[in-house]
């Protein structure tokens, strides 16, 4: 007989129960039924939200001033761009147009050079007077010229550069002087050049290609560079040379007094005192949008997400921190282990507030959303974002004054409405939790009014996190804390170079050629 884990059903004999006992039993069963239904609704709501996060649209799709990537077809490009009317790229030589609109459009690509044009003349070989028409045998003569332009590419060329270094000895003291252009090795007693290491770093940290795939490619084309070589070289140059630049960028970023901060998890296989499957964290700090002349993105590895690790990452910093509602940031201001609290002012992200209401609205049927509180909250926040976007091109002082005059009343109205809604809403519902989150973030959201350099959203940091998240999906984990820290250094250099319109490969090559000369 098959055994089951089902509990036997209770059978009640109402004939032997008094009216009072029956009423108490009915009340008990009704309470249990309500609890089961509430638990069921909770699981269904979270399942729906989980499916929405995986398969649905981004909750920021309709925020003014933000790009809707789905509308661009980026994640559906093969199908979206398949069009019988194919617009080919223009292959004209570089334009010298003085058109202001064109100049403004191309200003973002001021470091991008036109493709080199290689010309081949397609003429008949031999004496033309002796060539006959293949159709009728008539005499051929020069008639016209047409241009056919094709984009051609040649895979990267890898070769061994052999430097023959002539040495010169001083007759007086015996000092040896090398000939001109003698290369200074990036790594002592290593065959790795600055160009090779820069290429490896960019392929992993810019294009998110794991070392395993690069190792496979090297074997295919006969390059004697293994995965172990690439790992060792990357860690070596990260700690010896690139860390110097990352530390200097940290000084510049922290001196600005305004940073955006976010964090994401990673996995370290060989981390002392922790199982391989446990989570470690990568913290990202960026400069605000207004620092257009020196944007910086920094990455830091920590073992945990605790306030102690946050304090270590932000050690020496004082000023504004734009962040989400994670309580670890709040703990920075409190004394700990005999140390005073950090001199920081937290500024909450209004996009995170909006996300909570979007999640609540997703649980309502589409034809019933119009009159809901979640829909009204999103509409109010939409107006706030649209209004603040009008101040983007102002100076810092003008932006501060405009926010005091125009934005503050909208924020006051929104939070007054939140407080009134909390009193009449079930606290454990998704809508109730959205209201509670907004209410708890009020003080930090209002801090945006203190300084014109501040933003009402944390998208700078969240955009900087995405390159790491994309890479993590490819290589899944780091072997050791040293590797994770080296990755953070490389990410800091690569992403900051991109933010400053530099080509990371050229920039890293330059650093690895020049820094060893200064040692």
- CA-CA distance, 306 to 276, in Å (whole number)? 19
Nearest alpha-carbon partner for 65 in 352, 377, 387 = 387
Question: Rounded to an integer, what is the distance from CA 246 to the centroid of its chain?
Answer: 18
Least Cα distance to 468 among 498, 501, 490, 499 occurs for 490
Is the pLDDT score of 319 beyond 70? Answer: yes
Token pair of 150, please? Answer: 């094709």
pLDDT in tens, 268-300: 888 888 888 888 999 999 999 999 889 999 999
pLDDT band at 169 (very low <50, low <70, confident <90, very high): very high
Across the range 168-186, mean pLDDT stands at: 89
User: In 3-state terms, what secondary structure has residue 301?
Assistant: strand
Which residues, in sequence order, are bridge partners of residue 169?
176
Which distant-in-sequence residues (6+ apart) come within 8 Å of 93 by Cβ?
Answer: 114, 117
- Cβ–Cβ under 8 Å, residues 328 and 352: no
Question: What does the pLDDT read at residue 91?
Answer: 65
Residue with more model confidence, 88 or 75: 88
In this prediction, residue 53 has a pLDDT band, given cuts at 50, 70 and 90, of low
Helix (H) or strand (E) holding 284: strand 280-286
Residues 6+ apart with CB under 8 A from 464: 262, 284, 286, 297, 495
* Mean pLDDT on 88-99: 54
pLDDT higher than threshold 80 for residue 38:
no
Given a cut of 70, is residue 120 above it in pLDDT? yes
Per-residue 3-state assignment (H helix, E strand, C coil) for 436-480: HHHHHCHHHHHHHHHCCCCCCCCHHHHHHHHHHHHHHHHHCCECC
What confidence tier does 59 reach under pLDDT thresholds 50, 70, 90? Answer: low
Q: From CA 378, how far away is CA 59, in angstroms rounded? A: 11
- Beta partners for 258? 320
| The predicted structure's pLDDT at residue 90 | 66
Neighbours of 271 (CB within 10 A): 17
């Amino acid at each position: 007989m098959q055994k089951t884990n089902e509990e036997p059903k209770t059978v009640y004999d109402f004939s032997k129960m008094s009216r009072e006992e029956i009423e108490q039993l009915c009340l008990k069963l009704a309470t249990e039924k309500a609890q089961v239904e509430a638990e069921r609704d909770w699981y269904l709501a979270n399942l729906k939200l989980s499916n929405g996060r995986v398969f649905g649209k981004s909750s920021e799709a309709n925020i003014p001033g933000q790009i809707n990537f789905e509308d661009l077809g980026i994640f559906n490009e093969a199908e979206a761009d398949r069009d019988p009317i194919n617009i080919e790229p223009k292959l004209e030589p570089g334009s010298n147009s003085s058109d202001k609109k064109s100049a403004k459009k191309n200003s973002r690509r001021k470091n991008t050079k036109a493709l080199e044009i290689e010309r081949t003349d397609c003429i008949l070989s031999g004496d033309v007077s002796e060539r006959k028409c293949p159709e009728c045998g008539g005499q051929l003569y020069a008639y016209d010229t047409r241009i056919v332009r094709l984009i051609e590419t040649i895979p990267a060329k890898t070769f061994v550069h052999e430097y023959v270094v002539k040495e010169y000895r001083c007759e007086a003291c015996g000092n040896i002087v090398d000939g001109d252009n003698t290369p200074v090795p990036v790594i002592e007693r290593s065959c790795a050049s600055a160009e090779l290491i820069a290429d490896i770093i960019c392929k992993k940290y810019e294009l998110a290609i794991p070392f395993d795939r690069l190792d496979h490619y090297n074997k295919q084309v006969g390059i004697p560079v293994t995965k172990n070589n690439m790992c060792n070289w990357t860690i070596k140059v990260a700690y010896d040379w690139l860390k110097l630049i990352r530390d200097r960028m940290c000084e510049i970023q922290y001196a600005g007094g305004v940073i955006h901060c976010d964090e994401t998890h990673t996995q370290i296989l060989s981390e002392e005192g922790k199982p391989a499957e446990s989570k470690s964290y990568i913290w990202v700090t960026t400069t605000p949008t207004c620092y257009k002349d020196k944007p910086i993105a920094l990455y830091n590895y920590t073992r945990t997400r605790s306030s102690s690790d946050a304090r270590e990452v932000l050690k020496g910093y004082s000023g504004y921190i734009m962040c989400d509602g994670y309580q670890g940031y709040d703990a920075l201001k409190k004394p700990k282990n005999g140390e005073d609290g950090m001199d920081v002012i937290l500024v909450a992200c209004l996009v995170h507030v909006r996300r909570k209401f979007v999640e609540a609205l997703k649980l309502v049927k589409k034809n019933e959303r119009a009159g809901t509180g979640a829909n009204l909250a999103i509409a109010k926040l939409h107006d706030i974002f649209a209004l603040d976007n009008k101040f983007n091109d102002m100076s810092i002082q003008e932006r501060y004054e405009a926010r005091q005059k125009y934005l503050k009343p909208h924020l006051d109205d929104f939070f007054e409405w939140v407080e009134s809604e909390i009193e009449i809403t079930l606290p454990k519902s998704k809508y109730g939790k959205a209201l509670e989150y907004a209410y708890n973030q009020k003080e930090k959201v209002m801090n945006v009014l203190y300084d014109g350099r501040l933003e009402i959203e944390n998208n700078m940091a969240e955009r900087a996190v995405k390159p790491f998240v994309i890479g993590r999906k490819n290589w899944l984990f780091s072997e050791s804390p040293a590797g994770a820290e080296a990755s953070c250094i490389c990410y800091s250099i690569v992403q900051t170079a991109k933010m400053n319109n530099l080509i990371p490969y050229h920039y890293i090559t330059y650093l690895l050629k020049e820094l060893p000369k200064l040692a």
